[in-house]
Structure 1
Amino acid sequence: MKAEKDKIVSLHYTLTDDGGVTLDSSRGREPLSYLHGHGNIIRGLEAALEGNEAGFSSSVQVVPADGYGEYNPQAVFEVPREQFPPNETIQVGMQVQGESPDGVLNFTVLAVNEKGVVLDANHPMAGKNLNFEVEVLEVRDATAQELSHGHVHPHGHDH
């Protein structure tokens, strides 16, 4: 069976940056399982897995446009310090959330000063090549429930 729309694909992966530093890996954990063709993993990796069967293994480089997007310097901005609770410790590198008309947004704190907090709305991996070592372990038909929910239920869970 091939990885194609409406199939459940299970795989092991290791993700590294261009310097070879491991950013994430499923090795030693449960494999990643996803519903193919429904945007549940980054576009570039899903495209590279399209049409492959269990046993497929490969090195896949996903460029920013097919991963988390290009880095947008205009997504960096400063907000007044008083928009944060007065007793909350804000540190460089921490993730904070804010609300917008489109829902909850995540930001990375780049700098903190007396006047404000500099936030970055880019995804932490925006602008980076993503280098995957992948091994497809299984491809199966999705259940009717998985198709109706748009995601995998690895242990048959019900909502």
Structure 2
Amino acid sequence: MAIKEKQNVILNYELKINDEIVDTNFDKEPIEFVYGEGQLIEGLESGIKDMNEGDSKILKIPASQAYGEYDEKLSETIDIKDFEGIDLQIGMVLEAENSNDELIKATVTDVTKENVTVDYNHPLAGCDLEFRVEIKSII
């Protein structure tokens, strides 16, 4: 029976970017989610529509249906004094709350004696993704 709205789906996946495996759970526990509730990126959820238990598929998902296009406006340079007491490293992810008390994350992309550049884009923004998925169970 094919996947329908509000059903629990259990699946294994392998994620490739530019033909390089960057994540997989084939050697771990499969993930479980409720189909149709937006718990997966748009392209992955729409790509598994009509799959059945036991089916496998390769899905090529453009950035626009994954984590969005990279937006250079979401990068900013901040005075290093605002980071006093933090051992800043390029690639580290900082967390803060915005004016609506929502958690935001920023990746440190550059550190100088005067400034810190942070990027608010999702780390996979701008990336086309390739998923290999296997539907383990539909409940």
The normalised TM-score by structure 1 is 0.84
Structure 1's unaligned 5+ residue stretches are 141-159
In the other structure, the counterpart of 1:91 is 89
Matches within 5 A, 1:59-138: 59-84=58-83, 86-102=84-100, 103-138=102-137
Q: What is the identity, as a one-letter code, of the residue corresponding to 1:3? A: I
Query: Runs ≥4 in structure 1, deviation > 4 angstroms?
Result: none
Structure 2 counterpart SS, 1:23: strand
- Compare 123-132 and 95-104 and name the one that shifted more: 95-104
Matched, 1:17 2:33: no
What is the deviation of 1:56?
1.1
State the Cα distance separating 1:87 from its structure 2 match: 2.6
Q: Distance in 1 between matches of 2:110 and 2:4?
A: 44
Equivalent residue, structure 2, for 1:156: none
**Counterpart Cα distance in 1 of 2:93 and 2:55:** 36
Partner AA of 1:17 in structure 2? I
For residues 88 and 122 of structure 1, the distance between their equivalents in structure 2, rounded to whole angstroms, comes to 21
TM-score (norm 2): 0.95
Per the alignment, in what secondary structure is the counterpart of residue 70 of structure 1? coil
Query: For residues 132 and 3 of structure 1, what CA distance do their matches in structure 2 show?
Result: 18
> How far 1:80 sits from its partner (Å)?
1.3
- SS of residue paired to 1:134: strand
Query: Residue 72 of structure 1: CA displacement?
Result: 0.1
How far apart are the structure 2 equivalents of 1:132 and 1:63?
11
Provide the alpha-carbon RMSD of the alignment. Answer: 0.9
What code does the residue aligned with 2:79 have? Answer: P
Q: Aligned residues: percent identity?
A: 28
Give the structure 2 partner of residue 155 of structure 1: none
- Report what 2:43 is aligned to: 44
Aligned pair count? 138
| Alpha-carbon shift at residue 32 of structure 1 (Å) | 1.0
Whole-Å separation in 2 of the counterparts to 1:99 and 1:112: 22
- Give 1:51 deviation, angstroms: 1.6
Question: Matched residue of 1:83: which SS?
Answer: helix
